[in-house]
Chains A and B, each alone.
Chain A
Amino acid sequence: MLLREVEYARPATVEEAVALLSQHEGARALAGGQTLVNVMKARAASPDVLVDLGRLAELRTIGFSSDGMLEIGAMVTTSQLMASSEVDVARPILAEVGGTIADVQVRNRGTIGGNVCVNDPTNHFPPLLVALGATFTIRGTGGERTTGADEFFLGVYLTAVGEGELLTKISVPPRKPGQGDGFAGLAIGAHGTYIVNAAATVSADGARVALGCVGAVPVRASSMEETLAGAELTEQAVRAAAEGLGATLDPPSDVHASADFRRHLAEVSAARAVLQAAERARSH
C-alpha cells in the first residue's frame, strides 16, 4: 500500500528526538509502528514528519530505580517484557498480559510506550497500568515531568503526552508480599481484540480495579474498590461488590457487543480479575 509522502528522521538521543518533535509541526513519534504504520496505510493518520525512536537504546532498558520501582523504557517491546527476569520478579502480570497481545510478530515490534500512547480503548496495557498504579515519565524541551496513571489517559487516542513531548519510561511499583494481580475479560478469539477487560491488584490495603473498553479511558471501579476495602475476598463478596458496576458505565455499542452486554461483561470481568488477584495474593 502506498502511504502519503512523509519526512523521516532518526534521532540518536532523546534530546534530539524531543527537539525534532517540538520543531516540526505535524511530527509524530514512531515507536514499533504496529499501530501507526497501519493507520498511515489507511490514511487515518498522515503525519508530516516521522521521528523514529528505533535507535534510542536508553528507551529499551528494563531495570530498577534506587527506590526499587520497576522502570520500563518506552521502547521496550512486548516480547522483551515477556522475557525479562526483572519483570518476572517484580510484576509478572505485565509479561502475562503482554503474552495475550496479538501475535508473535506484533509482540516482537510493538512497544509498551506505543501501546499506552495510542490509548486505543481496547488496548491491554492502559487498564493494567492504571490498576498497578504506574507512573509515566514525559520529556519535553522544558525538561522532565511525571504523571500518575489516573491522569495519564485523557481520551481516545489521547494521553498526557503533549505535542513536542515524548514518553520515556513507565515506572511500576514492585509486587509486595501478600499482593496479587489479575486480568480478565472477553476477547474476539483467543488473542484477539478485547470486548471488555478488567485489571485488578489486591493487597492488605484493598483492591484497585480498572476496566478497559468501556469508555474513552480506563475506568476505575471506585465503588467496587470501596466495598472491598478491608473485606474478606470470598467469591460471594467479590461478585456482590461487582453488582451494579455496569449501571455506572456508559460503554459503546458495536457489532461485537451491545452496551448492555458490555455492562454485564464489566461486572463479570472485574469480579474474575479481583478473584484471580486475591488467589495470587494468598500464595505470594
Chain B
Amino acid sequence: METPATDRTISVEINGEVVEREVPARRLLVHFLRDDLGLTGTHIGCDTGNCGACTVHFDGAAIKSCMMLAVQADGAKITTVEGLAGDGELTPLQRSFSEHHALQCGYCTPGMLMSATALLEQTPHPTEDEVRVALQGNICRCTGYVNIVEAVVSAGAAGGH
C-alpha cells in the first residue's frame, strides 16, 4: 500500500528526454516545467485554468499545465512548445503563424501552437469552425484571433503541421 508523502520522485519524458526529479506534491506541472527545468516557453497567463497559455501535450493530448500537479505527470510523455522545433527548424504550423502574422504580443502563442498542433495531428485539414472549437480554451488578449485561425487553417490546407 502506498504511503502518502509530500514529495515524490517522478520520471517524465519531456520533449523526448527522460527527466527524473523529486518534486513536492503541491507543485503544479507548469511550475515544474518553468522553474525546475527552465522550459519557460510554457507561459502562465491566468493561473485559473481559463486562458490556455500553459497548454502542453500530455501523452499526445492538449492539457493545461496549470491545472495539473507535476506528480500526476509521472511516467507520461510531455511535449512543450520547445519540443516543436526540436532540431531548430520551425514546423509548418509555426511558419504559418509567422507568415500570417498570427501573433501580436505573443504571450498566448505557445499555448495556441500546442492546441493547434494537437488538432492537426487528429484532424490534418481542419475547417475554420473546427479550428475555432479547438482553440476555444486559448485566449488571445490582443484579440488577434482572425490571423491565428487563418494560420492554422492554412497550415492544414498545406498538408502539414
Contacts and interface: CB of A to CB of B under 8 A. Distances in A.
A282 interface: no
A94 B83 CA distance: 35
Q: Interface extent on B, as a size class?
A: 35 or more
A24 B74 CA distance: 23
B26 A4 contact: yes
A37 B64 CA distance: 11
Contact of B6 (A8, A10, A34, A38): A8
B49 A8 contact: no
Contact of B136 (A7, A19, A191): A191
Contacts of B27: 3
A16 B25 CA distance: 19
Given A33-B72, A52-B71, 18 more contacts: A4-B26, A5-B26, A8-B5, A8-B25, A11-B1, A20-B1, A34-B49, A37-B49, A37-B67, A41-B66, A54-B72, A103-B138, A105-B67, A106-B137, A108-B61, A108-B63, A109-B64, A109-B68
A9 interface: yes
B52 interface: yes
A208 B8 CA distance: 48
Nearest to B134: A104
B35 to A, nearest CB: 11
B28 to A, nearest CB: 7
Interface of B: 1-6, 8, 24-28, 47-49, 52, 55, 58, 61-64, 66-69, 71-72, 74, 115, 118-119, 133-134, 136-138
Contacts of B62: 104-105, 108
A261 to B, nearest CB: 25
Given A1-B28, A37-B67, A7 B61 contact: no
B38 to A, nearest CB: 19
In terms of DSSP, what is the predominant structure of the interface of chain A?
A: mixed
A6 B27 CA distance: 10
Contacts of A33: 67-69, 72
